[in-house]
Structure 1
Amino acid sequence: MIDLYYWPTGNGLKIGILLEELGLEYRVVPINIREGEQKQAAFQRISANGRIPAIVDHAPQGSSRPLSLFESGAILTYLADKVGRFLPPAGRVERHKVQEWLFWQVGHITPYLSQLQLFKEKAPQPIPFALDLLDAEATRLYRVLEVRLSEVPFVAGEYSIADMAIFPWIQPLRQGQDLTHFPHIHAWRERLKARPAIQRAYANGRELAANERSLALQ
């Protein structure tokens, strides 16, 4: 059994998608970040950084003790390796391509697009310099993804944890992007939206917090 400490944000949805794709038995432990539950000491013993998502695997391979992990990239890698799906094994070139795009998501997509959403939606008043800077970077990142998806159907060639990591963060309406300018991103999103596991992950998120903006799939 895996405990998923979670709220249905872009980062939380990544792990929900993978767990559904893998068919692993898991239990959701809601961490309501809107009420500050991520700051509680009990959660921070599991997630040292005080951020969702985090997991506790009560039956890790090679150990009789539960394993806790935080940071979405680490969790995605661990779960994919545990089952042997959506991440090629060590030593294969394809694994490096998955990690390349996974780390691109972690290092660029989440930091910049989350800041853009923050300034657009929560700043007491517009801050033109920040908005201009972040809008430009969002457009640049969309172009990087568009070029890649013009070459392959999924970011690492085959469907992988890299797609699962990127997908919840591509929210064009929130980010001021028009997908008519990014037809390959649009086609990729439609392919992923049709996957039953992704549909289940989003349905689970809506049961928990229907008003979370990350759950909209415009």
Structure 2
Amino acid sequence: MIDLYYWPTGNGLKVGILLEELGLEYRLLPVNIREGEQKQASFQRISANGRIPAIVDHRTETPLSLFESGAILNYLADSAGQFLPPAGSAARQKVQEWLFWQVGHITPYLSQLQLFKEKAPEPIPFALDLLNAEATRLYGVLEQRLAEVPYVAGEYSVADMAIFPWIQPLRQGQALADYPHIQAWRLRIKARPAVQRAYAKGLEVAPGERSLALQ
């Protein structure tokens, strides 16, 4: 059994998608970040950074706890031998390249854009101009890649699962009509039963979360 400490944000959803794709038995343990539950000492003993998602894998002789979504995706896919090519292969490095791109660029910039657009008490033009420009650049990088391959690393992988929940064009000031390859990629992923199950479980936990809108 795997415990998933979770809230249905972009980072929470990516791990939920992988668990559904792998068909692993897991228990969903909501951590309501809107109420500050991630700051509780009991959760921070599992996630030292005080952020979701985190897992505890009880299948190991000594339960293993992990935080950081990229590390969790790598661990689960590696242990299952799915959605992550073998160690040492060029294909694996390509998956890692795009997974690290998501962790290092997509989440930081798009989450900040959403924050300034949706939460700031008044518009801050400098921040909005900078973040809107970076969002457009990142969408362009993804569009160019998907013009070459059906999935970011060639085959469907944890890299796609990591990026997909963060591509929320209406929240990020982007028009999907400008990105036909992203649009086609999103439709392919949205059609996957595991993705639909992951989003359905998210809606059960927090139906009002904006990240759950499959635009």
- After TM superposition, the score normalised by the length of structure 1 is 0.98
Q: Secondary structure at the match of 2:148?
A: coil
What is the rounded CA distance, in whole Å, between the counterparts of 1:47 and 1:91 in structure 2?
29
- After TM superposition, the score normalised by the length of structure 2 is 1.00
What is the rounded CA distance, in whole Å, between the counterparts of 2:47 and 2:86 in structure 1?
27
- Spell out the pairing of 1:168-183 with structure 2 (5 A cutoff): 168-183=165-180
How many Å apart are 1:91 and its aligned residue? 1.4
- Spell out the pairing of 1:1-218 with structure 2 (5 A cutoff): 1-60=1-60, 64-218=61-215
RMSD: 0.4
Q: Secondary structure at the match of 2:199?
A: helix
Q: Secondary structure at the match of 2:3?
A: strand
What is the rounded CA distance, in whole Å, between the counterparts of 1:128 and 1:5 in structure 2?
36
2:48 aligned partner, one-letter code: A
Q: Secondary structure at the match of 1:173?
A: coil
Q: Which runs of 5+ in 2 are unaligned?
A: none
How many Å apart are 1:89 and its aligned residue? 1.1
User: After superposition, what is the alpha-carbon deviation per residue over 1:153-198, rounded to whole angstroms, capped at 9, x for unaligned?
Assistant: 0000000000000000000000000011100000000000000000
2:209 aligned partner, one-letter code: E
Q: Which runs of 5+ in 1 are unaligned?
A: none
User: After superposition, what is the alpha-carbon deviation per residue over 1:123-156, rounded to whole angstroms, capped at 9, x for unaligned?
Assistant: 0000000000000000000000000000000000
What is the rounded CA distance, in whole Å, between the counterparts of 2:53 and 2:86 in structure 1?
24
What is the rounded CA distance, in whole Å, between the counterparts of 1:163 and 1:112 in structure 2?
18
